[in-house]
Chains A and B, each alone.
Chain A
Amino acid sequence: MLKRVIRFYIEGFRSMTVGKTLWAIILLKLFIMFAVFRLFFFKPYLKEKFPDDKSRAKYVTEQLTRKPL
């Protein structure tokens, strides 16, 4: 069964025409998004700065209540 599924995908990819260009674009795009954007520019702010949920909650609460009233 698994072999048939794998063969189905392999044959499908092999017989592509426009699809090959599109797959190249998809792979390049995913690489840019995950290996460049995510890794270098979009680090999760709270996870980077605080080790656990408790300290993250404390920080956000401080942010939410910091305004002098």
Chain B
Amino acid sequence: MNIDPSLVEWSRWQFALTAMFHWIFVPLTLGITFLIAIMESIYVKTGDPEWKRITKFWMTLFGINFAIGVATGIILEFEFGTNWSNYSWFVGDIFGAPLAVEGIMAFFLETTFIAVMFFGWNKVSKKVHLLSTWLVAIGSNLSALWILVANAWMQNPTGTRFNPDTARNEMTSFWEVLFSPTAINKFLHTVSSAYLLASIFVIGVSAWYLLKNREKLLARRSIVVASVFGLIFGIYTALTGDSSARHMAQVQPLKFAAMENLYEGQSGAPFVAVGITRKVENDEHKRLEFISKIEIPNVLSYLAYLDPNAFVPGIKDLVHGNPGKGVMGVNEKMEKGRMAISALRSYKEFQAAGETAKADSAMKVLEANYRYFGYGYFEDPHQAIPPIRLTFVSFRVMVYFGFLFILMMLYFVYHSMRDTLEKRRWILVLAIFAIPLVYLVSQAGWIVAEVGRQPWIIQDLMPTFAAVSHLEVSSVKLTFWLFAITFTILFIAEVRIMLAQIKNGPKDGGK
């Protein structure tokens, strides 16, 4: 397949830019809607008008985030059809079905329940309004479910069968796709991290009010709700992260090895808690060498297999194979992949010639080797290695700051319960800085997921370079810069409107 590498790179940059920009808005929506629903529930339960005021204030900030972010995801769908046409065709209905459900769900959600949520104060009963608020929260999260299911399928394609007549993967079991362990882990980990992000957002804004000696009741109450919510889901994020990593070790072992910069497989493998690395020049394995590191013995083996003495394959084992440990190398997979591609070609040729028996025989070869189909495009086994440094660093950023945020939530819960928060101004200042930081950490999570799975767009079935459309590189560059400009303007608009609204405070109410 003769693809210009710069076309692949620019297409990837363009997609990464769009996805990362989209992800600025999504996690806040996913989390803050639940926080708003909890606050409104307290209002309905207690009848205290201050809770209504608090609810309406956070609803306004949610509205700003929602308005600026809405439809930014649509561009990703444009890009699938234009820049990734081979991929879009190849995935067929598996990707189309969840996205269609998401689209319909988002449309009904946005036109009905959000309207009641924003316009319905004093027009519908308290209970109907509260129900709408909860439905917005649940609906947004269900909307995210379908996207994450589609993404999970790319990381671990299950519940499908390749149809050589249409050149498409067809769904054989909707439930297998929906309930694949990758989809469940991905959904739970992503949404719980979004709840943590939203909690930090609410705490950070409230901390600013406390530092400014304004809106103290609103700030205190918001911190109580957000810190408890953030603590619960912060811990849950860590637990789901742990199960995600364990699952990754099974289905994406090279991603796991890259995340740990594990070159040689080991029994009783240690976890590198802190490591400073340098690149080994001209190394075919893209190896990073540890200049210094602090290791925790046996932890990696335990994390991956719940056995402190288990063997964890390293990059070298996975690329070259380690028959003693039952690890198949990329070379062998490349052979099988080439057989699959060749069988597909033969199938089409025999079918065109009307030679049914030969076509059936080619089909059998294709089916037997299809799970390695994508390896057939590699010319060198080292092409299967993901970018190690970015994956390794992003993973540590995500995990370490994730734990720091949990401690921060614990601190806020403790001191807000004892009403001693305002005496500790340093933590209030820190909470404000935690807002941009948690966004960076959230993006780091996606870098681990998406950069770590390279070179695959669909794990084992289609490498990223085989998925791009044959466009002019200049046109991809042009759209990249157009997006970069548009997104920057939108981002500045969001921050300015949001900051102005926070500065105004809740006096304007909920619109």
Contact of B85 among A22, A26, A32, A45 (CB under 8 A): A45
Contact of B86 among A8, A16, A60 (CB under 8 A): A60
Number of interface residues of B (CB under 8 A): 54
User: With A and B bound together, what is the CA distance between A45 and B7 in angstroms?
Assistant: 15
Q: Does A35 contact B (CB under 8 A)?
A: no
User: With A and B bound together, what is the CA distance between A30 and B71 in angstroms?
Assistant: 8
B interface footprint on A32-69 (CB within 8 Å = 1, 0 otherwise):
11000110011111110000010011001101111101
Q: Which of chain A's residues 4-47 have a Cβ closer than 8 Å to chain B? A: 8-9, 11-13, 15-19, 21-23, 25-26, 29-30, 32-33, 37-38, 41-47
User: With A and B bound together, what is the CA distance between A36 and B510 in angstroms?
Assistant: 33
A interface footprint on B59-90 (CB within 8 Å = 1, 0 otherwise):
01001100110110011001101110110111
User: With A and B bound together, what is the CA distance between A25 and B492 in angstroms?
Assistant: 12
In contact, A57 and B165 (Cβ under 8 angstroms): yes
Interface of A is mostly: helix
CB-defined contacts of B377 to chain A, threshold 8 Å: 67
Q: Does B125 contact A (CB under 8 A)?
A: no
In contact, B68 and A18 (Cβ under 8 angstroms): no
Nearest CB on B from A39, distance (A)? 11
Q: A17-B511, A25-B67 are in contact. Are A12 and B119 (CB under 8 A)?
A: yes
Q: Which of chain B's residues 268-326 have a Cβ closer than 8 Å to chain A? A: none
User: With A and B bound together, what is the CA distance between A43 and B342 in angstroms?
Assistant: 32
User: With A and B bound together, what is the CA distance between A25 and B486 in angstroms?
Assistant: 12
User: With A and B bound together, what is the CA distance between A16 and B342 in angstroms?
Assistant: 62
CB-defined contacts of B501 to chain A, threshold 8 Å: 18
Which residue in chain A gives the minimum CB-CB distance to B65? A22
* A interface bracket (residues with beta carbon within 8 Å of B): 35 or more
Q: A57-B168, A65-B344, A67-B377 are in contact. Are A42 and B82 (CB under 8 A)?
A: yes
Which of B75, B82, B377 has its CB near the most chain A CB atoms (within 10 A)? B82
Q: Does B364 contact A (CB under 8 A)?
A: no
In contact, A64 and B82 (Cβ under 8 angstroms): no
Contact of A22 among B167, B497, B508 (CB under 8 A): B497
Contact of A12 among B79, B90, B118 (CB under 8 A): B118
Which residue in chain B gives the minimum CB-CB distance to A61? B167
Nearest CB on A from B182, distance (A)? 24
In contact, A17 and B508 (Cβ under 8 angstroms): yes
Q: A37-B482, A42-B79, A69-B338 are in contact. Are A22 and B1 (CB under 8 A)?
A: no
In contact, B70 and A26 (Cβ under 8 angstroms): yes
CB-defined contacts of A25 to chain B, threshold 8 Å: 67-68, 490, 493
A interface footprint on B349-372 (CB within 8 Å = 1, 0 otherwise):
000000000000000000000000
Contact of B78 among A17, A37, A47, A60 (CB under 8 A): A37
Nearest CB on B from A43, distance (A)? 6
Q: Which of chain B's residues 98-122 have a Cβ closer than 8 Å to chain A? A: 115, 118-120
B27-35, B152-160, B184-192, B471-479: which one contacts chain A?
B471-479
In contact, B89 and A56 (Cβ under 8 angstroms): yes
Q: A9-B115, A41-B482, A60-B167 are in contact. Are A15 and B511 (CB under 8 A)?
A: yes
Q: Does B466 contact A (CB under 8 A)?
A: yes
Which residue in chain B gives the minimum CB-CB distance to A12? B119
Q: Does B376 contact A (CB under 8 A)?
A: yes
Nearest CB on B from A38, distance (A)? 6
Given contacts A19-B511, A45-B83, A60-B167, 18 further A-B contacts (CB under 8 A): A8-B123, A12-B120, A18-B60, A19-B63, A22-B497, A25-B68, A29-B490, A33-B78, A37-B75, A37-B78, A47-B81, A57-B89, A61-B164, A64-B341, A65-B342, A65-B344, A65-B348, A69-B341
List chain B positions with a Cβ less than 8 A from chain A: 1-2, 60, 63-64, 67-68, 70-71, 74-75, 78-79, 81-83, 85-86, 88-90, 115, 118-120, 123, 164-168, 338, 341-342, 344-345, 348, 376-377, 466, 469, 471, 475, 478-479, 482, 486, 490, 493, 497, 501, 508-509, 511
List chain A positions with a Cβ less than 8 A from chain B: 8-9, 11-13, 15-19, 21-23, 25-26, 29-30, 32-33, 37-38, 41-47, 53, 56-57, 60-61, 63-67, 69
